[in-house]
Amino acid sequence: MKGEILLSVDEAREIILNKIDRLSSEEVPILESLGRVLDENVYAEIDLPPFDSSTMDGYAVRSEDTMGAWPAGPIELKALEGIAATCRPEGEIGEGETIRIMAGAPLPEGADAVIMVEYTERIDDRVLIYSPARPGENIRYAGEDVKRGEIALARGKRIALGDIGILAALGKAKVEVVRKPTVAVIAAGDELIDIDMPLSAGKIRNSHSYEIAAQVIDCGCVPLILGVASGGQEALAAKIEEASSADIIIIITSDVSVSDCDLIRVVLNQIGEIIFWQAVMEPGRPLAFGIVDRKPVISLPGAASSIISFEQFARPALLKMSGRTDISRISIEAVFEGKS
């Protein structure tokens, strides 16, 4: 046990992370995959988008037919039947012809550009073009986002909002993701009572379990509040054994003493292994970490320091278990140049 040597915050965190493994995967509906880590390569079985289409409402044209058009000298084209976004065009555009097209509609054969409607004027079956079009202007080409056969989303990617749309467009109703860790939260202390219990002399409600549970949810994990372990070693051991048999990781919120007869240390040594129990951190020095039934146990000191300790030690561990690689908060260095 490395409890007699005070560990730095970085050393303690490294020891914890070295004992943490990424969880296995599970298949979930795509809406349940948001924010989770993909555990398969998703290949595109079709091009995305699947066909050349217009990005604007306007007129599909051959760009060469619009060369030289300007406000004082528009070019006149013959208007063919228009194309709605839900229709597929029939035939093709010939020299000197144009077709009204809606945003998202397939590009007709022969057209290589779309003129925005703002730069046109319709007069019966003729269209005046007031601006030249470049080849490819206002066109979204088939496979522009993802080509058929390519990896659309790679294993290890954290699924974002836009990825849900890609999965749906590819017809992927379910996807393999890393499982969410279930985190058992136990409060240890004879002075603690459940939050729905009436207060009596010397008692306080178990608020810290709920603060920790909220942090667990913020990590994308599932909290399991097991209540208060009061009454000494047997009660705490029973709670830990109950949690370790059913959950991935256990977080104990308590006021961990630095004395040799500390309850947490005694119980962890009895039913498992304690790896270390102190870190150079104020507040939060009496941090403890151990293993019970091959499950990691992080014991956080009580009061507000439990929230800080969770951020430093539990959060990175939970994110690693979830398959995340971005386990640290973003840090920015700044120089204060104002008056103190």
What is the rounded CA–CA span in Å between residue 297 and residue 314?
A: 10
Percent of the chain with pLDDT over 90: 67
* Residue-range domains of the chain with CATH: 9-23+180-321 (3.40.980.10), 28-48+143-178 (3.90.105.10), 53-140 (2.170.190.11)
Q: What is the dihedral of CA 84, 85, 86, 89, to 10 degrees?
A: 60
In whole angstroms, give the CA distance from residue 208 to residue 222: 16
Mean pLDDT value of segment 308-336: 93
Among 87-91, 231-235, 287-291, the range scoring the smallest mean pLDDT is: 87-91
Q: What angle do CA 27, 167, 173 make, to 5 degrees?
A: 45
Q: What are the angstrom distances between the C-alpha of 112 and each of 36, 122, 130, 141?
A: 41, 20, 17, 10
DSSP codes of every residue in 107-143: PPBT--EEEEGGGEEEETTEEEE-S---TTTTEE-TT
What is the pLDDT, as a whole number, of residue 85? 57
Per-residue pLDDT band for 262 (boundaries 50, 70, 90) equals confident
pLDDT: which is higher, 281 or 39: 39
> Tokens representing 54?
């217009």
Q: What is the mean pLDDT of residues 90-116?
A: 93
- The DSSP H or E segment spanning 32 is none
Helix (H, G, I), strand (E, B) or coil at 184: strand
Provide the pLDDT for residue 4: 60
User: Which pair of structure tokens corresponds to residue 291?
Assistant: 């293993």
Percent of the chain with pLDDT over 70: 92
The mean per-residue pLDDT over the stretch 233-258 comes to: 75
Query: Which contiguous run of DSSP H or E holds residue 292?
Result: strand 288-292
Report the 3 state secondary structure along 206-239: CHHHHHHHHHHHHCCCEEEEEEEECCCHHHHHHH
* Residue bearing the bigger pLDDT, 184 or 283: 184
pLDDT of residue 252: 77
> How many whole angstroms separate alpha carbon 214 and alpha carbon 310?
11
pLDDT higher than threshold 80 for residue 339: no
316 membership: H or E segment, kind and range: helix 315-321
114-159: pLDDT as tens digits:
999 999 999 999 999 999 999 999 999 999 999 999 999 999 999 9
Q: Which residues are 229's β-sheet partners?
A: 188
What is residue 260's predicted lDDT score, i.e. its pLDDT?
35
How crowded is residue 176: how many other Cβ atoms within 10 Å of its Cβ? 18
Res 31 pLDDT > 50: yes
Q: What is the mean pLDDT of the chain?
A: 90
Nearest of 182, 192, 302 to residue 247 by alpha carbon = 182
pLDDT-derived band at 254, boundaries 50, 70, 90: low
Name the pLDDT band for 259 (thresholds 50, 70, 90): very low
At residue 3, the pLDDT reads 46
Q: Are 250 and 244 in contact (CB under 8 A)?
A: yes
Residue 246 has pLDDT above 60, yes or no: yes
What pLDDT was estimated at residue 271? 92
For residue 240, the 8-state DSSP code is: H
Helix crossing, 263-271 with 233-244: angle to 10°?
Answer: 50
Can you give the pLDDT at residue 255? 52
Cβ within 8 Å of residue 232, ≥6 positions away = 263
Residue 51 has pLDDT above 80, yes or no: yes
- Look up residue 331 and give its DSSP letter: -
| 69 has pLDDT over 80 | yes
Instruction: Name which of 53, 47, 58 is nearest 140 in CA terms.
Output: 53
Rounded distance between C-alpha atoms, residue 45 and residue 258, angstroms? 60
**Token digits for 313?**
């030690």
Residue 261: pLDDT over 50: no
Residue 228 contacts residue 161 (beta carbons within 8 Å): no
